[in-house]
Amino acid sequence: MAKIELIDISKHFKTKPPNLIKTLFNVQPEINNDPKKTSFLIKNLNLTLPDGKIFVFLGPSGCGKTTLLRIIAGLEKPESGRVRYDGVNMENISPGDRKIGMVFQNYALYPNYDAKKNIMGNFIFKQNTPELNEEAKAAYQRTSDLMGVDIDHLLKRTPRNLSGGEKQRVAIARCITRNPVLFIMDEPFSSLDQKLRDKYRVNLRTLLKKFNITTAYVTHDQLEAQILADLVAVMSRGKIEQVGTYEDIYYYPKSIYVAEFLNLDSYTPAINLIAGHHISSEYKNMTIGIRSEEIEVFKKIKSAKFKAKIVGIDNIKLKKVTILRLKMGENELYATLPIRDDFSINDEIGLHFKKYHLFDKKSGLRIPDD
């Protein structure tokens, strides 16, 4: 286990699309260090991954998640700044000496070795000694205990005879035998079908908690972040927008970007945004954000402060909710409520906002609650 610190990390990236010939021959593109010509840049980034926690980097493709992971692992060097493991500067420590267990999308298993040899890969390339044999036996026993019976029937198979989910288990088992201080995982479930993904991310959470190891995990899948993360870092274009538990970030987003990025329900937009003067004249320089589940509706509209017309109705019977699409002046809102069948298109209804979020109109940043 280790506490990982990123201190004043900076890195630039080029905007030009990669040269096709260079891509075909696997030639690495040059880095463009001109800030005016970069697609995004990581600049003076500071971040701490607490000891023993599962830390998930969440953001859209191209925002820098994998780059940060590679910097943490030592596979990529920042232009400035430091990476520290438990206070020790890693600048001159190679990736192989950092005691990292890495699981990536392709799992990187040795194709000619069976699963057991892949799991024990940390030992088979070292000079054989009685001490090493004892260490290997202990590591394998610990790994078997942690992985459980799911791993036993795979041991004699080569990677070509393993499914995606089985390869993933072997890759994780290989990491455990290294006795790492840090797990690094970059979209390890991306090649699995949805059924296996649902199963294995729950299993992974249980395993990582049992192993109690610091984990840096990259995904763009919000459900995966909800299931796995102790802490989430929401990213955009090389910046950390907000760090916290998924729940804290959802209920207290620091900006409109974060509020719009986290969405618990694909049936509605993440958040309704309206001009502040629709709520109160004192909010004229603000944008109001209202989650769909934070809107109450009622049919008696005489005393209602806010009124709207129903322009769309969707009953999601499986989730036992009704989603109303509403028109309030020039604003379109979505409201999610327990399933009802007493609404019709063009009905006039009253609204009550149980909670709303205030954002500065210019910066998009959250205005703190009183």
Q: How does pLDDT run across 34-92, given as a tens digit for each residue?
A: 545 555 689 999 999 999 999 999 998 888 898 999 999 999 999 999 999 999 999 99
Nearest-angstrom CA–CA distance, 57 and 217: 6
CB atoms within 10 A of CB 242: 21
pLDDT at position 352, please? 92
Token representation of residue 365: 């940043």
What is the maximal distance between C-alpha atoms in the chain? 86
Mean of the per-residue pLDDT values for the chain? 85
**Domain edges within the chain:** 4-261, 272-360
DSSP state of 284: T
Q: Indicate whether 314 pLDDT > 60.
A: yes
Segment 270-310, tens digit of pLDDT? 999 999 988 888 999 999 999 999 999 998 887 788 999 99
- Look at residue 199 and tell me whether its pLDDT is greater than 80: no
The answer on pLDDT for 15 being more than 80 is no
What is the arithmetic mean of pLDDT over 360-370?
A: 90
| In this structure, CATH architecture of domain 4-261 | 3-Layer(aba) Sandwich (3.40)
Per-residue pLDDT reduced to its tens digit, 98-139: 989 888 767 778 888 998 888 887 787 777 788 888 888 888
Query: Is 272-360 assigned to CATH 3.40.50.720?
Result: no
The 3-state secondary structure of 297-358, one letter per residue: EECCCCCCCEEEEEEEEEEECCCCEEEEEEEECCEEEEEEEECCCCCCCCCEEEEEECCCEE
pTM recorded for the entire structure? 0.83
How far is the C-alpha of 219 from the C-alpha of 230, rounded, in Å?
A: 14
Q: What is the pLDDT of residue 22?
A: 43
